[in-house]
C-alpha cells in the first residue's frame, strides 16, 4: 500500500460521520410545490405562477425535468423486461453448460444405458436417484438438443420464445391465461406463442418437470397427510389403476427439461420453496408433440433462447394421457407418467 492509500481501519476512523443532503424542514413523501395530480400547492403558486396565472420560466424548466423523468421511467421498465435475458448470458451456469455441451459426443453405450433406465422407470414408475445413471440421461438430452435443427422459425417466432423463457413472470401470466382465460390482455400473445411452438414436433423423447399435485377435496388431502409411506404407496397404486389410460384435452404450454437432474433434483436443492411445495414430478413421453428443444438451432446456426443450461423442452400438447402413477419414497415425491400428443 502506498502513502496515498488508506487502510480499511484508517478509512473507518477517518470517515466516521454521516452526511445528509436536503432542505431544512423537508419530509419524505411531502410535496412542497406540486400536488400528485400536477396542480400547484399554495407555495407552488408563489414559486411558479405569475400574477396573471401564467407559468414562470422556472416552472417550465420543472415540467421539462418531469418529462425527462417519465422518459427515464419508461426506459427502466424496458430494461427490467430485458434484464433477465442479459443476466442469463452472464450466468456462470451457462458457461459451464456450454463446455459440457461441446464435449458431449455420440456414445452408443450411453444410449443403451439411458434406454434401459427409461424402460425401468416406466416399469417401476420411479426414476433412479443414482447420480451416474441420471447423468447418462442428461447426456442423451444434451445430444438431442445439439441435433435439433429448425428451418421454419423466423425472427418473430424466436423473439416470442426468448421472451417466454427469459421472464418467469411473463411465462406464468401466459399459462394462467391458457388455463383460466384471465388476464385477457395476453390472449393474442398466448395464441401467437402457441402457433410458433407448434411449427415443430418433439417425438420419441422423455422430458421431466417438477410440479405440485393438488387434490380436489380437502378430506382426501387430510387422509393422505396422515398416512405412512406404506399405506400411502398402496393408496397411490389404487390411484394408478383408476387414472391409467385416462386422457384430457390440454391448452397450456409446458416448460419441461430433458435433464432430470435439473428438473427434479438440482432445482429442488437450489429452490427451498420448491422443495417444500412441489411434491411431484412428471415423466412425459413425447409422441409427435407440438414443441421445440430450446437449445436447438435454426438452420443458419442461430440460437432460439438465451438460457440454455436448463435443457428446456417447450411443449404445446393438445392431449395428455396418464400412463402410470407411483410413490417415490426416496425423494418423497409422487411420480406421474404421461403421454403428450
More confident residue, 271 or 111: 111
Which residue bears the cell 421454419? 152
pLDDT at 5 over 60: no
The whole-number pLDDT of residue 277 equals 76
Q: Which of 149-158, 260-269, 329-338 shows the lowest mean pLDDT across its residues?
A: 260-269
Q: Given pLDDT bands bounded at 50, 70 and 90, which one contains residue 44?
A: confident
pLDDT at 9 over 50: no
Mean pLDDT computed over every residue of the chain: 78
Percent of the chain, pLDDT > 90?
29
Cα distance between residue 130 and residue 266, in whole Å: 13
pLDDT at 57 over 60: no
Rounded to 5°, angle at Cα 260 from 265 and 87 = 75
Q: Given pLDDT bands bounded at 50, 70 and 90, which one contains residue 69?
A: low
The most confident of the ranges 17-26, 89-98, 297-306 is 297-306
Q: Given pLDDT bands bounded at 50, 70 and 90, which one contains residue 23?
A: low
Question: What is the arithmetic mean of pLDDT over 86-96?
Answer: 61
What's 56's DSSP letter?
P
Q: Report the greatest alpha carbon distance in the chain.
A: 90
Do you find a cis peptide bond into 117, omega within 30 degrees of 0? no
Instruction: Name residue 324's beta-bridge partners.
Output: 337
pLDDT at 157 over 80: yes
Contact (CB, 8 A) for 288 and 305: no
Which distant-in-sequence residues (6+ apart) come within 8 Å of 269 by Cβ? 275
Question: What is the arithmetic mean of pLDDT over 242-249?
Answer: 81
Question: What is the arithmetic mean of pLDDT over 207-236?
Answer: 68
Cα distance between residue 201 and residue 292, in whole Å: 6
The whole-number pLDDT of residue 247 equals 86
Question: What is the arithmetic mean of pLDDT over 236-263?
Answer: 84
Which distant-in-sequence residues (6+ apart) come within 8 Å of 213 by Cβ? 279, 280, 334, 336
Q: Which of 122-136, 216-230, 241-255, 300-314 shows the lowest mean pLDDT across its residues?
A: 216-230
pLDDT tens digits along 167-204:
778 888 898 898 888 999 999 999 999 999 999 999 99
Which uninterrupted H or E stretch holds 91?
none
Which residues in 203-331 belong to E strands, given as ranges? 205-211, 247-249, 254-257, 280-286, 289-293, 297-298, 312-315, 319-328
pLDDT at 7 over 60: no
Domain at 106-340: CATH code: 3.90.176.10
Question: What is the arithmetic mean of pLDDT over 328-337?
Answer: 87
Handedness of CA 177, 221, 319, 331 (dihedral sign): positive
The whole-number pLDDT of residue 138 equals 92
The most confident of the ranges 2-6, 76-80, 261-265, 305-309 is 261-265
Q: Of 183, 320, 154, 169, which Cα lies nearest the Cα of 249?
A: 320
Question: What is the arithmetic mean of pLDDT over 125-154?
Answer: 92
Question: What is the arithmetic mean of pLDDT over 21-38?
Answer: 64
Cα distance between residue 50 and residue 53, in whole Å: 5
Q: Given pLDDT bands bounded at 50, 70 and 90, which one contains residue 30?
A: low
The whole-number pLDDT of residue 282 equals 93
Cα distance between residue 16 and residue 11, in whole Å: 8
What strand order describes the sheet that includes 280-286? 201-202, 289-293, 312-315, 254-257, 205-211, 280-286, 333-340, 319-328, 247-249
The whole-number pLDDT of residue 56 equals 58
Residues of the chain with CATH 3.90.176.10: 106-340
Amino acid at each position: 500500500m502506498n502513502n496515498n492509500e488508506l487502510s480499511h481501519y484508517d478509512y473507518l476512523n477517518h470517515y466516521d460521520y454521516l452526511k445528509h443532503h436536503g432542505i431544512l424542514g423537508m419530509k419524505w413523501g411531502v410535496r412542497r410545490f406540486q400536488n400528485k395530480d400536477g396542480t400547484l400547492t399554495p407555495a407552488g403558486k408563489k414559486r411558479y405562477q405569475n400574477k396573471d396565472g401564467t407559468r414562470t420560466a422556472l416552472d417550465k424548466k420543472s415540467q421539462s425535468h418531469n418529462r425527462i423523468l417519465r422518459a427515464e421511467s419508461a426506459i427502466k421498465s424496458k430494461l427490467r423486461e430485458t434484464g433477465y435475458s442479459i443476466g442469463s448470458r452472464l450466468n456462470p451456469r451457462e458457461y459451464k453448460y456450454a463446455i459440457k455441451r461441446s464435449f458431449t459426443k455420440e456414445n452408443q453405450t450411453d444410449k443403451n444405458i439411458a434406454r434401459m433406465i427409461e424402460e425401468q422407470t416406466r416399469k417401476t414408475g420411479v426414476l433412479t436417484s443414482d447420480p451416474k445413471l441420471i447423468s447418462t440421461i442428461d447426456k442423451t438430452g444434451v445430444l438431442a438438443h445439439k441435433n435439433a435443427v429448425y428451418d421454419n422459425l423466423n425472427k418473430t417466432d424466436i423473439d416470442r420464445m426468448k421472451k417466454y423463457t427469459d421472464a418467469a413472470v411473463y411465462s406464468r401470466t401466459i399459462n394462467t391465461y391458457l388455463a383460466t382465460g384471465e388476464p385477457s390482455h395476453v390472449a393474442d400473445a398466448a395464441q401467437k406463442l402457441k402457433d410458433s411452438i407448434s411449427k415443430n414436433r418433439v417425438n420419441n423423447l422423455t422430458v421431466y418437470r417438477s410440479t405440485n399435485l393438488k387434490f380436489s377435496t380437502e378430506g382426501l388431502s387430510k387422509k393422505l397427510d396422515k398416512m405412512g409411506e406404506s399405506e400411502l404407496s398402496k393408496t397411490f397404486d389404487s390411484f394408478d389403476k383408476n387414472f391409467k389410460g385416462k386422457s384430457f384435452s390440454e391448452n397450456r404450454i409446458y416448460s419441461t427439461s430433458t435433464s432430470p437432474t435439473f428438473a427434479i433434483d438440482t432445482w429442488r436443492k437450489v429452490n427451498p420453496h420448491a422443495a417444500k411445495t412441489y411434491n411431484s414430478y412428471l415423466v412425459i413421453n413425447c409422441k409427435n408433440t407440438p414443441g421445440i428443444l430450446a437449445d436447438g438451432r435454426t438452420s443458419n446456426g442461430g440460437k432460439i433462447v438465451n438460457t440454455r443450461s436448463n435443457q428446456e423442452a417447450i411443449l404445446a400438447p393438445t392431449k395428455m394421457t396418464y400412463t402410470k402413477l407411483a410413490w417415490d419414497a426416496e425423494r418423497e415425491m409422487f411420480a406421474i407418467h404421461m403421454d403428450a400428443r
